[in-house]
Amino acid sequence: MSKNLSELSGRKGLQENLFEEIGILARKSGGTPTVEELEQLADAFLVGKANTYGSASFYDFTRAENKGKKVYVCDGSACLTAGTQDALKEKLGAQYGKDEIGSMYCLGRCHENSAFHTNGYNYSGADIEKISDIKKGSRTAVDTYNTGHFGTPVLLEPFNDLSSFYALWKSALQKDQNALLEEIKKSGVRGRGGAGFPMGIKLETCKNTAGSTKFVVCNADEGDPGAYSDRFLLEQRPHSVLLGMMITGYIIGANWGVLYIRGEYPESIDVCEAAIKELHDAGHLGNNIHGSGFDFEFKIIRAQGAYICGEETALLNSIEGQRPEVRVRPPFPAQVGLFNKPTVVNNVETLACVPWILREGGEKFATIGRGRSTGTKLISLDGFFKNPGIYEVDMGTPLRHVIDQMGGGFKKDIKAMHIGGPLGGLVPVDKIDSLTVDFESFQQGGFLLGHASVVCIPNEFPLVKYIKHLFEFTAHESCGKCFPCRLGSTRGKEMFEKAIEENYKIERDLLDDLLNTMEIGSLCALGGGLPLPIKNALQYFDAELKEFLT
């Protein structure tokens, strides 16, 4: 049935988009669209009323439970372990009614915490002290954080001027697509969103799949609590991302580039919209670009708050206005993707590498890094570091160098770091010297590099509380399609909640069975990846957790 819905949603193309219409109606009403409005949308797009209602009821910004919310508090992992949010809620409570305050995961302000969202924008750090002015519509200054690099600045190289940067675009349009693809393959660049799949294979598959309409989609729904590297690129290096999409589109024969940007990153949307206007004004977009015969346009989709949309097939369903449930694969998006058309989906950091690769050559990119982990990696350091911020390092850089030399060490005693988002590995501090920043090192160590976000867990923060938080996060964000994720995360949350509040002892065999069922039975990495950090915790912090287990 969803395949038919994809076709129906695609009837009007990207310009009149069902998902976008749901979001527009929600913003007008201060919450969720009315039943009548959803029924009218269903009629306009020839889909069932249950489909529009199912979509609108899923997202943080459109679901009925959040209607009338005027401010959202970040409940992401970094803000949780920092312990800033209780005081934040108390201060917000002096300005807003209890029913006007909601919560969401994560606003990407992990470097300074105390994060909240109101009037369509994000705030953090000391911004709460200006809440009365913010409530009236005043904007505070854009947040700042440290940046730096160790090795080759692929993504942190300075941006000079538009004309010089897009000279590469003009030259690429004069080259054979196969030659450009070969450079991507030579580079060995792998997806930076977590899976680490080779970009060249994905592009080649899509290029060789027949179809008059194709898409390149930028997955800018980086919802991993603790990660804000994609936000950095979208706001401070938008042209690297856009040009990467344009070149990818040219290689595979796609005339549309879709940026699906988190609703929790409103500033990123503003910056990218302005950058696309610059490109139009300079003649780099449109029909017959620079006399090449190639046409290309961008469409920005404002997401509405759902972590699962970081999974590529759920993201495609979301763009189509369907409930963002994970699709069964195969077929893969490169063959049957958006509106059932061949589609390349890559994340922000992966696409931002493309201009450098084609300017400097795939072989040069491949010389950076270690083994099959070529190139560089952005790392997000949270507020427990003396120098929190975004850092770029060559793959293979010792983790110790990142922690001590770039992050400046920890502000207080830390017992573990959750690296790679909620589905990443929980790394004890005594394992720092055994790891290097690359896919293989983390995999061999029993962890996961993922987005390379680092959330610190201080000595005094109970790990049992953190595990409950991970189950709770997964239960809230699950698309609900598969039982192991939907039910397993809820049962896990209940077990650890009961252990904390009622002196309940969790049966270890039962917990192990639950984790294994989620790991092997879930359709995607949300349910399938959650067991990793919990297993790490059970392995390395048995002494702390044993009082809750039997």
Query: Considering its fold, how many domains does the chain have in total?
Result: 5
Q: Are strands 414-419 and 389-394 parallel, antiparallel or unpaired?
A: unpaired
Residues with Cβ within 8 Å of 242's Cβ and at least 6 positions away in sequence, in order, are 257, 272, 275, 276, 279, 298
Q: What is the DSSP letter of 404?
A: I
Give yes or no: residues 360 and 341 share one domain: yes
Give yes or no: residues 82 and 56 share one domain: no
Q: What type of residue is 210?
A: A
Give yes or no: residues 420 and 472 share one domain: no
Sequential DSSP letters for 287-339: SSGGGSS--BEEEEEE--S-GGGGSHHHHHHHHTTS--PPPPSSSPTTTS-GG
Q: Is residue 140 part of a domain?
A: no
The residue range of the domain holding 238 is 146-369
Provide the pLDDT for residue 196.
Answer: 83
Copy the structure tokens of residue 485.
């994720």
Q: Is residue 346 part of a domain?
A: yes
Give yes or no: residues 287 and 334 share one domain: yes
Across residues 82-88, what is the average pLDDT?
97
User: How many separate helices (H) and strands (E) can be counted in the chain?
Assistant: 25, 16
Copy the structure tokens of residue 381.
């350091």
On the question of pLDDT at 531 being above 90, the answer is: yes
Decide which of 66, 89, 117 is a domain's last residue.
Answer: 66
Tens digit of pLDDT for each residue in 365-390?
999 999 999 999 999 999 999 999 99
Across residues 209-219, what is the average pLDDT?
96
Confidence of residue 542 (pLDDT cuts 50, 70, 90): very high
| Full-model pTM | 0.95
Give yes or no: residues 216 and 339 share one domain: yes
Provide the pLDDT for residue 351.
Answer: 98
Give yes or no: residues 129 and 155 share one domain: no
According to DSSP, the residues that pair with 379 across neighbouring strands are 391
Decide which of 24, 45, 66 is a domain's last residue.
Answer: 66
Give yes or no: residues 34 and 180 share one domain: no
Give yes or no: residues 129 and 10 share one domain: no
Give yes or no: residues 249 and 357 share one domain: yes
Measuring CA to CA, which residue among 380, 356, 358, 363 is closest to residue 154? 356
Copy the structure tokens of residue 143.
């947040």
Residues with Cβ within 8 Å of 179's Cβ and at least 6 positions away in sequence, in order, are none
- Strand order across the 343-347 sheet: 297-302, 256-261, 215-220, 343-347
On the question of pLDDT at 103 being above 60, the answer is: yes
Percent of the chain with pLDDT over 90: 90
Measuring CA to CA, which residue among 70, 74, 71 is closest to residue 106? 74
Measuring CA to CA, which residue among 72, 176, 152, 524 is closest to residue 324? 524
Tens digit of pLDDT for each residue in 11-67?
888 888 999 999 999 988 877 899 999 999 999 999 999 999 999 999 999 998 888
Is residue 84 within 8 Å of 78, Cβ to Cβ?
no
For 11-33, b/e burial (b = at least 16 CB within 10 A) is eeebeebbbbbbbebbeeeebbb
Mean pLDDT lowest among 5-9, 492-496, 521-525: 5-9
Percent of the chain with pLDDT over 70: 100
Copy the structure tokens of residue 136.
């009236």
Give yes or no: residues 306 and 446 share one domain: no
Mean model confidence pLDDT for the chain: 95
Q: Is residue 379 part of a domain?
A: yes
Q: Is residue 283 part of a domain?
A: yes
Q: Is residue 51 part of a domain?
A: yes
Q: What is the CATH number of the domain that holds 31?
A: 1.10.10
Decide which of 369, 396, 426 is a domain's last residue.
Answer: 369
Q: What is the CATH number of the domain that holds 472?
A: 1.20.1440.230
Judged on CB neighbours under 10 Å (0-12, 13-18, 19+), 2 is middle
According to DSSP, the residues that pair with 104 across neighbouring strands are 74
Provide the pLDDT for residue 223.
Answer: 82
On the question of pLDDT at 142 being above 90, the answer is: no
Name the 3-class secondary structure at 507.
coil
Q: Is residue 91 part of a domain?
A: yes
Q: Is residue 428 part of a domain?
A: yes
Give yes or no: residues 165 and 281 share one domain: yes
Q: How far is CA 320 from the centre of its chain?
A: 19
On the question of pLDDT at 1 being above 60, the answer is: no
Confidence of residue 486 (pLDDT cuts 50, 70, 90): very high
Tally of CB atoms within 10 A around 125: 18
On the question of pLDDT at 195 being above 80, the answer is: no
Q: What is the CATH number of the domain that holds 161?
A: 3.40.50.11540
Q: What is the CATH number of the domain that holds 417?
A: 3.10.20.600
Q: Is residue 280 part of a domain?
A: yes
Across residues 463-491, what is the average pLDDT?
96
Residues with Cβ within 8 Å of 186's Cβ and at least 6 positions away in sequence, in order, are 361, 362, 363, 365, 366
Give yes or no: residues 493 and 530 share one domain: yes
Is residue 438 within 8 Å of 395, Cβ to Cβ?
yes
